[in-house]
A and B are shown apart, each in its own frame.
Chain A
């Protein structure tokens, strides 16, 4: 018969105890990494420390790569102009992956390194998870691409330079109606398993309803879908003359191609997820004519934007395959770095960073970030006391594909 527990021999107890002890020491050793004391002075030995956490791997990696270029260009521009009153900025970029645990780990790592401010994370969902860490530790966090409602509301130290979709999305609907006042029947598509998509479609649907165009059909897709025949057929049965998409570049591009192939001729409005030149190779000639509202236009004629577009084109010249025209994500990341750089310079003039305790420097920097006005590639921006961006210019662009359908551009509409 099997012996049931109760009388445990001493060696077994010792084995359990020693196993647990070994386990805990192994865990402690594995996670051992040096944290810095927040009360000590700012470490300026390698320059003024700033960090970024971007989605360089996982399904959001294309966004992170675009942002990395923008941050690095901005860093070069700031340091070229003397850095923080003569001291160069030193930037460390960490991969936050495309999930919450990896973003949290990267944010904690950067804060432990003693950085003064943080750019990122790429996705709104990651900010909802990692933002509270920065808030608790009192580190200014400037989100370059979060568009969900509620990001600056995480706390005082959280701000963003990316206007939320509720501000931008309705503009493209208004423009579509202005171009074609006869539009009566709108069809809406969104990916139900994608956070961006589900959040933006609500705003699109509200904007449509406000214009008296209650959607005749709302079709749901999945982020990784390739074939949209059934949803498109169901939508086309409702005879729409406007199609509104809240989808990412890959699935959205495919859906547009199939929509046109199945005979749809009406207007198409897309959301922020397709605000990238990466859609051209996917929907090719069928991309032509789609409308999009943007927080950035490469065609904006301001000195700040001309400097940025020139720097971008020069950096991309080495690789003739990629477009020399910067996407919105790159411009916003550039802006986030610029905001931090300029705020640091102002702070340093007011209270020299040398010798200032780290925690106090971070707090003062946050006040400085919120207090400033910035001439950026996005146009002039400021912040509300909560940290929400106040942006002067928004744009509606129409995609114009070149003959052959391999390349195109977002052409700014007046």
Chain B
């Protein structure tokens, strides 16, 4: 944990441990490089990218954004509940975040299923290559996050968190917010960018 003194004199603390921030920073750099690669590919074949983008269902993208934002919100509430020592609420909030994570995976499976039924795969063209790979790698992150949420849920039920013992929960929350943030960039990049 790193504590820093802000200008107003109050001590601010980096949530979780430094290592999880190393992971988050590196992971986001990887995604940033892929986003740049997508934009370069788009410049080379704007018409193909635009025509393919129009085949995506914006409703799926929008619903998925709402799902992940709500899930992230549940995790924020869980961390706050731990800090208020309202420990009864924590397992419920983490379970809510987990169920929403599962809902995201189901929604993604339906969306992929529709594309595959329509004869579209990641080999169809460069846009779909980025669409399937970027959202697929992101989905792997969601899957890993859901496993993490199960671990956190178990710890919360066993009352292993408290106001002065919540580093593990903060690490998990940091990761889950990163997953959310990546989707917030992915959604406009793939579904909305004209």
- Is B a genuine binding partner of A? no
Residues of B that sit less than 8 Å from A by CB: none
